[in-house]
Structure 1
Amino acid sequence: MLIGLLKEGDSENRVALLPEIVSNLTKRKVAVCVETGAGDSALATDSAYQEAGATIASREDVLKKADFLIAIHAPDEKLIQSLGKEQIWLSQYNPLWNTDLVKQFAARGITTFSMDAIPRSTRGQAMDVLSSQATVAGYKAVLDAANHLSTFFPMFMTAAGTIRPATVLVLGAGVAGLQAIATAKRLGAQVQAFDVRSAVKEEVMSLGAKFVEVEGAKEDAAAGGYAVEQTEEFKQKQQQAINDHAAKANVVICTAQIPGRKAPLLLPKEAVSRMKPGSVIIDLAASTGGNCELTQDNETVVEHGVTIVGQSNYPSLMPVDASKMFGKNILNFLEVLIDEEGKLELNFDDDIIKGTCITHQGEIINERVKSAIQPKN
C-alpha cells in the first residue's frame, strides 16, 4: 500500500504526519509518498522525510499514485474531482457539519474516514484527534488572552502596591476547557468554569477552579461525553448565571460546541456590553458560529471596549507539537487498518473502523452521520 501525504493550504501550518511517524510506517512495510514541502511550516524538511524512508513528489504525482491519501482538513472541490473510487481519503472533515461534502464523497464512490468520528471509547482514546488538538487549543487560547489583556494574570505584591489577579471564566469544560483552566491557574489567575455536564464538576475543582453550577441541565449518556441541546427554561437560567460571572471577569474563554450543530450562544451582545473595558473574549467555537454573538471567525474585533478573538485553529499556531500529536493519533488508527504485511485490511466488524468510516462503495455507512443526513420519519 502507498500512503500519500498532502500539503495543507496556506492557512494551516500543521502536517498530518511528521517524519518520525513516517519512519514507523515504513518499518511496517508501508510505502509513503510526501508532497513537496508538505512539512515546511511544521519545521519538517523534505530531506527529513526522505531519511525516514519516504519519497518526495509533486502534488499531481501523489494524487495519481497513492492508494490512501492523508491530510488534516477536508479536500476542496478540485481535489475531490481528482479522487478515484479505488482511493481512500483520511482527514478530519467534521461529517456531521459538512453534510454536503459527505454526499459528494458517497456520490463519487470514495471510501473516506474522518478522524473526528473516532468512537469515544477507551480503545479510541489513542486515536482521538479532537482531544489532542483541543489540548493545544486550550493552552494556546489562554496565552493569547494574556497577550491581549492589559493587566497581569497573577497577583503581585510590590512596593508600588498589590496587583489583584485576573479573573478567568471558562465556558465549557471539555478537553480544551480543562486545559485552559489548568493553564490559567498556572499563570496565577482566579478561574471559574461553566459546563452543562455535572459530571465534569469534580475535574474542574481538582484543577483549582470554581464550578459555576446551574441546576436542571439535561444530560445524555449516548452523547459520548459531549454536551447536548438544553431546554429553554434551563437556557434562561444558564444565561443569567453566565452574564453575571462574565461581567466580573477579565477573560472569558469560550469552548462549548455540540457536534453537528451551530455552537450554543452563551455570550449575547448584551452580556458583552456589561463586561469591563479591556476584557478579553477568546472564542474557540468561532468556526461553528461562536459562543459569543459578536464573534467573527478568524478575526479580532473590539466591541464595547472588549477584545473578541474568533480563533478556531490555535493548533496551527503551534504546528510542531500539534502535528506530533495529530500524527501519533493517525498512526494509532492506521495500525488498526494495516496488517503485518503492510496491506490495508478493512474489517468493518471492528468498532473503530466502522465508527470512523463515513462513506464506502457509494453509501454513507456511519450511522450517526446517516441519521443526520437521512433522518427517519
Structure 2
Amino acid sequence: MLSIRVLRESRAPSADALTSGERRVALDPATAGKLAMAVSKDAESPVVTIESGAGTHAFFNDEAYADTRGVTVADDDSGRGDAELVLCVRPPEPEAIDQLAEGSVLVGLLAPFQSKALIERCKARKITALSMELVPRISRAQSMDALSSQAAAAGYHCALTAAHEASVFFPMLTTAAGTIRPARVIVVGAGVAGLQAIATARRLGAQVWAYDIRAAAREQVESLGAKMIDTGVDASGEGGYARELTEDEKAKQAEALAKHLSTAHAVITTAAIPGRRSPQIISEDMVKRMQPGSVIVDLAAEGGGNCALTKAGETVMSGGVKIIGPTDIASELPVNASEMYAKNLFNLLSPFIEDGELKLDFEDAVIGPMCITRNGDVVHDGVRKALEESA
C-alpha cells in the first residue's frame, strides 16, 4: 500500500519570528485524510505520515492530524526512507534528499531552475521529482495549478500591505473637514496575483489602473473595474506568460508607464517569469519621478524585483518613496494558502492512485511536463539546459 509522508519545511520560522519564513504545510488535516481515503477506504493502518510540527505555523497542530483517519504523526525524520511519495511546499535541503528511499516520488514547489544541488541529489538516488511550478497551463490542470492558487493569496496580501503602508486613505471619504479623494493605485502585471491585487484594492475603494504588456489582459482588468494603461506594446507569449520585450518595446512601454507612476499613491508589481529573473520594469529614474509618500510593494522581490531599487526582504526609502520587497508572501495567509496548495496536490495525484498504489503516467499531458528527474536522469529539457549553462 502507498506510503505518503509530508515533510516539515526547512525554511519554517524560528520560535521568536513567527511572521517570517515558510509557514505553509503541504497537506492540511482534512486533505490529508481525503488523500488517505483515496489510497485505502478501510485505512486500518496509517497511510499518510505528517512530521511533527509540520503544520504548526499554519495553525494545524499535531493533534488535528492524529485525530484524522488514515493519518499519523512522526516525532522525527528517521522514517523518511519508508515513504514512496513525499510531499513538501518549498525545496527540501539537499541533505534531506539523502534520507528518502531510492525510486521514491517527491512533489513540491521545487524551484527547479535554481535548485541544482537538489536535482543532483535526486538524480543520484533515482528519485522521481515533480515540480508544481511546471504544471502546464491547460484547462484540465487548473485545479492543480499551485502557482495560481498561491498567487491569489499573494496578490490579496500585497494589496493589503499597500493600503497599510500608503500615506493616504484608499477609499474616498466625505468628512466635516472636507472630501478626501480615493487613492490612485497602479498594479503592474495582470496575472492571477495582479488580478487579485486589483480586486482587493478596488474593494478598499481605490482608483486602480493596471499595466500589462499582454493585450489579452484588458478584458479581465476592465471586468474588475480597473482601467488599462495603454502602451501600444503587445508581448503575449506561450502558456499565458509574457514574452521578453525588445529594447524598442521596453523604451516605449517605459515612457507610457512612467507618466502614470508619477501620479500614483501606491504601486503593486507582480510580473514574474518562472525560472528567470523577474523583469525590471520600474527604473530608478521612474522612482525619482514618483511623488513623496507613495509606496511600491514588489511581489516579484524574490526573483530580483520589478523595481530597480527593490531588496528582497527589506524596505528601502528613496526620495520619500517606500519600496517594500516582501518574501514568503503567500505564507502570510498560511491557513488558506496551505488548504489551496493541499487541494492542488490532491487533484494532481488522486487520479493516479489505483488499488492503493501510485501509478504515474509519464505520457500524461500534466505529469510529463512537470517531471524533472526520473530513473537517475534529468528528463525536463528546460531544466537540463539551465543546469548545463550554469555548470
Counterpart selection for 1:215 from 221, 224, 232 = 232
Counterpart selection for 2:381 from 337, 344, 367 = 367
Shift of 1:22: 0.9
Determine the C-alpha separation between the residues in 2 that align with 1:300 and 1:195: 25
2:372 match: 358
The code of the aligned residue for 2:190 comes to A
CA deviation profile, 1:200-248 (whole Å, cap 9, x unmatched): 111111111110122233333xx20011111100001111112111111
2:33 match: 23
CA contact (8 A) 1:6 1:59 kept: no
Q: Does 2:143 correspond to 1:126? A: yes
Shift of 1:295: 0.7
2:310 match: 295
SS in 2 for 1:228: coil
1:77 match: 94
Q: Which runs of 5+ in 1 are unaligned?
A: none
Determine the C-alpha separation between the residues in 1 that align with 2:265 and 2:115: 35
Q: Which aligned segments of 4 or more residues in structure 1 are displaced greater than 6 angstroms?
A: none
Counterpart selection for 1:270 from 280, 285, 289 = 285
2:362 match: 348
The code of the aligned residue for 1:47 comes to E
CA contact (8 A) 2:292 2:320 kept: yes
The code of the aligned residue for 2:383 comes to V
Determine the C-alpha separation between the residues in 1 that align with 2:121 and 2:256: 43
Stretch moving more, 364-373 or 325-334: 364-373
CA deviation profile, 1:290-347 (whole Å, cap 9, x unmatched): 00111111112222111111013221011001111111101101113311x2201021
SS in 2 for 1:328: helix
SS in 2 for 1:82: coil
Determine the C-alpha separation between the residues in 2 that align with 1:157 and 1:49: 50
Counterpart selection for 2:343 from 314, 328, 334 = 328
CA contact (8 A) 1:168 1:252 kept: yes
User: Given the two structures, how large is their TM-score scaled by the length of structure 1?
Assistant: 0.95
CA deviation profile, 1:72-108 (whole Å, cap 9, x unmatched): 0001132133233222211101223434543442244
SS in 1 for 2:282: coil
Q: Which runs of 5+ in 2 are unaligned?
A: 14-20, 41-46
2:54 match: 38
Stretch moving more, 240-249 or 91-100: 91-100
CA contact (8 A) 2:241 2:273 kept: yes
CA deviation profile, 1:36-95 (whole Å, cap 9, x unmatched): 111111111111111112111133234132221111000113213323322221110122
Question: Residues 188 and 50 (structure 1 numbering): CA distance in 2 closer, same or farther, change over 3 Å?
Answer: same
Q: Does 2:171 correspond to 1:154? A: yes
The code of the aligned residue for 1:357 comes to C
Determine the C-alpha separation between the residues in 2 that align with 1:260 and 1:226: 12
User: Given the two structures, how large is their TM-score scaled by the length of structure 2?
Assistant: 0.91
CA contact (8 A) 2:316 2:322 kept: yes
Determine the C-alpha separation between the residues in 2 that align with 1:219 and 1:103: 34
Q: Does 2:270 correspond to 1:255? A: yes
Determine the C-alpha separation between the residues in 2 that align with 1:365 and 1:113: 11
CA deviation profile, 1:149-203 (whole Å, cap 9, x unmatched): 1210011112210101100001100000000011111111010011111011111
Determine the C-alpha separation between the residues in 2 that align with 1:111 and 1:88: 5
CA contact (8 A) 1:217 1:230 kept: no
Q: Does 2:240 correspond to 1:225? A: yes
Counterpart selection for 1:88 from 98, 105, 118 = 105
SS in 2 for 1:252: strand
2:24 match: 14
Determine the C-alpha separation between the residues in 2 that align with 1:74 and 1:32: 20
Counterpart selection for 1:50 from 66, 70, 76 = 66
Determine the C-alpha separation between the residues in 2 that align with 1:161 and 1:136: 36
Q: Does 2:4 correspond to 1:3? A: yes
What's the Cα RMSD here?
A: 1.6
2:181 match: 164
The code of the aligned residue for 1:148 comes to E
Determine the C-alpha separation between the residues in 2 that align with 1:310 and 1:45: 30
